Amino acid sequence: MDKRNLLIGLVVGIVIVAASSYATGLTKQLLLPFRSNAAYESSESATAPELTMGDWINSEPLTLQDLRGQVVLIDFWTFGCYNCRNTLPFIKGWHDRYHDKGLTVVGVHSPEFDEERKVENLRHEVALLGIRYPVVTDNDYQTWKAYNVEAWPTVFLLDKQGRIRWMHVGEGNYAETERQIQKLLAERVS
């Protein structure tokens, strides 16, 4: 009988802690480092750091200066990352839907493991995954560091003036990201 009461008390305690964590927003705070996003008004946005030199797949080398006048989505990813693979259908979908409307998607491949550093492995994975937008290697993490990225995947949206206006870390929040893409595409360049 004592073991049963102990078990019931333990279960009730876990339920109470979980419910109070949810009700007070503690769960959201605990998960914040694993999934976050931020929107910036144009007046508070800094010009995005330039992409550093690397090997380009699906494109000639691009610069953000060359892409002024377009909305740019920069996706920091690596092909061995499970979470990055989960975001790919959305990234590819945005490329397909909005490329002709002024969106340029650039994948910045910042490798986690040694086999991901080899450009021939990356070329194979890009083809296998059906990625048709430009991808640049970032084996020395120079672009990663310039953007202060801390996790895969991380997405940045740049406005037509090349300023960072949206950032999201992790999976999810796809509807909001798409709303931000649409908002930035609709903005007029002054």
Closest CA to 73 of 181, 188, 187, 171: 181
Give CA separation, 189 vs 55, 69, 106, 184, 186, in Å. Answer: 31, 7, 21, 10, 10
pLDDT in tens, the chain (190 residues): 677 877 777 767 677 766 665 665 544 444 444 457 777 665 566 899 999 999 999 999 999 999 999 999 999 999 999 999 999 999 999 999 999 999 999 999 999 999 999 999 999 999 999 999 999 999 999 999 999 999 999 999 999 999 999 999 999 999 999 999 999 999 998 7
Q: What is the pTM of this model?
A: 0.81
HSE-CB at 104 with a 13 A cutoff on CA atoms is: 21
Burial class (CB in 10 A: 0-12, 13-18, 19+), 14: exposed
Domain 36-186: which CATH class?
A: alpha beta
Burial class (CB in 10 A: 0-12, 13-18, 19+), 158: buried
